A and B are shown apart, each in its own frame.
Chain A
Amino acid sequence: MQAIEDIECDLVVVGGGGAGLRAAIAAAERDPGLRIALISKVVPMRSHTVAAEGGAAGVARADDSLDGHFNDTVSGGDWLCDQDVVERFVAECTGEMVRLEQWGCPWSRQADGQVHVRFFGGMTTQRSWYAADKTGFHMLHTLFQTSLRYPGIQRYDEYFCSDLLVDDGVVCGVLALEIASGKPVRFGAPAVVLATGGAGRVYGQNTNAGIVTGEGMAMAHAQGVPLRDMEFVQWHPTTLPGSGILITEGCRGEGGVLTNRDDRRYLQDYGLGPTEPWPRPKAMELGPRDRLSQAFWYEDQAGRTVPTPQGTAVQLDLRHLGEDRILERLPMITEVARRYAGVDPVREPIPVRPAVHYTMGGIPTDVRGAAPLSGLFAAGECASTGIHGANRLGSNSLAELLVFGRAAGEAAAEYAREAPRRPQRVVEQLATEALAPRLELLRNDRGERLATLRADLNRAMEQGVGIFRNEAGLEQACTTLAALRERLRRGIRLDDRSRTYNTEWLTAMEFGASLQVAEAMAWSARARKESRGAHVRDDAYSERDDERYLVHTLAYPGDGTGPVIDHAPVTVTRSAPRRRAYGAEGEAQA
Chain B
Amino acid sequence: MSESQRITLAVQRFHPEQDAEPRWQRYAVPYTPDMSVLEGLQYIKDHLDGSLTFRWSCRMAICGSCGCMIDGEPELACHVFLRDYAPGPVWVSALDHFPVQRDLVIDQSDFLEKLETVHAYLIPAGERTAAEGTYRQTPEQMTDYYAYAQCINCLLCYAACPQYGWHPDFVGPGALALLQRYNLDSRDAGSELRHAVVDAEQGVWSCTLVGHCSEVCPKGVDPARAINQNKPGSSARYLLDWLRPGRRRQEGSE
Contacts and interface: CB of A to CB of B under 8 A. Distances in A.
B101 A48 contact: no
A211 B137 contact: no
B119 to A, nearest CB: 8
Nearest to A332: B62
Given A500-B15, A501-B102, A243 B62 contact: no
Interface residues of B, number: 62
Interface stretch (A8-16, A98-106, A478-486): A98-106
Interface in B110-125: 112, 115-116, 120-122, 124
Nearest to B49: A495
Among B17, B61, B142, B149, which residue has the most Cβ atoms of chain A within 10 A? Answer: B149
B136 A210 contact: no
A102 B120 contact: no
Nearest to B115: A148
Nearest to B2: A309
A336 B79 CA distance: 10
A99 B102 CA distance: 40
A98 B133 contact: yes
A211 to B, nearest CB: 5
A416 interface: no
Contacts of A560: none
B47 A211 contact: no
A104 B124 CA distance: 9
A242 B34 contact: yes
Contacts of A332: 62
Dominant secondary structure at the A interface: loop
Interface stretch (A38-46, A73-81, A267-275, A545-553): A38-46
A494 interface: yes
Contacts, number: 158
Interface stretch (A111-119, A224-232, A256-264, A353-361): A111-119
B137 A109 contact: yes
A348 B51 CA distance: 42
Contacts of A51: 58, 60, 62-63
B37 to A, nearest CB: 13
B185 A500 contact: no
A209 B58 CA distance: 4
B188 interface: yes
B250 interface: no
A180 B100 CA distance: 11
A498 B12 CA distance: 18
B138 A112 contact: yes
Nearest to A308: B34
B16 interface: yes
B141 interface: yes
Contact of B116 (A141, A148, A211, A503): A148
A46 B63 contact: yes
A339 interface: yes
Given A496-B50, A504-B45, A102 B122 contact: yes
Contact of B101 (A138, A157, A180, A339): A180
Range class of the A interface residue count: 35 or more
B57 interface: yes
Contact of B134 (A48, A101, A243, A503): A101
Contact of B112 (A43, A50, A500): A43
Contacts of B178: 145
B53 A210 contact: no
B15 A245 contact: no
A66 to B, nearest CB: 16
A148 to B, nearest CB: 6
A420 interface: no
A146 interface: yes
B247 interface: no
Contact of B64 (A45, A101, A107, A109): A45
B58 A48 contact: yes
A103 B222 CA distance: 24
Contacts of A149: 121
B60 A501 contact: no
Contact of B53 (A137, A242, A503): A503
B192 interface: no
Interface in B87-107: 101-103, 105, 107
Contact of A501 (B105, B122, B145): B105
A98 B134 contact: yes
Given A46-B55, A46-B63, A209-B58, 9 more contacts: A45-B64, A107-B134, A112-B136, A113-B138, A114-B134, A115-B134, A309-B32, A310-B34, A500-B102
Interface of A: 42-43, 45-48, 50-51, 95, 98-99, 101-104, 106-107, 109-115, 134, 137-138, 141, 145-146, 148-149, 157, 180, 209-211, 242-243, 245-246, 309-310, 332, 335-336, 339-340, 449-451, 494-496, 498-504
20 contacts: A45-B153, A48-B58, A95-B130, A101-B135, A106-B149, A107-B134, A109-B138, A111-B138, A138-B149, A148-B121, A180-B107, A210-B59, A242-B34, A245-B59, A309-B1, A336-B61, A340-B60, A451-B45, A451-B46, A501-B101
Interface of B: 1, 15-18, 32, 34, 45-47, 49-51, 53-65, 79, 101-103, 105, 107-108, 112, 115-116, 120-122, 124, 128, 130, 133-139, 141-142, 145-146, 149-150, 152-153, 178, 182, 185, 187-188
The 7 closest A-B pairs by CB, nearest first: A495-B50, A113-B136, A104-B122, A451-B46, A496-B51, A209-B57, A501-B102
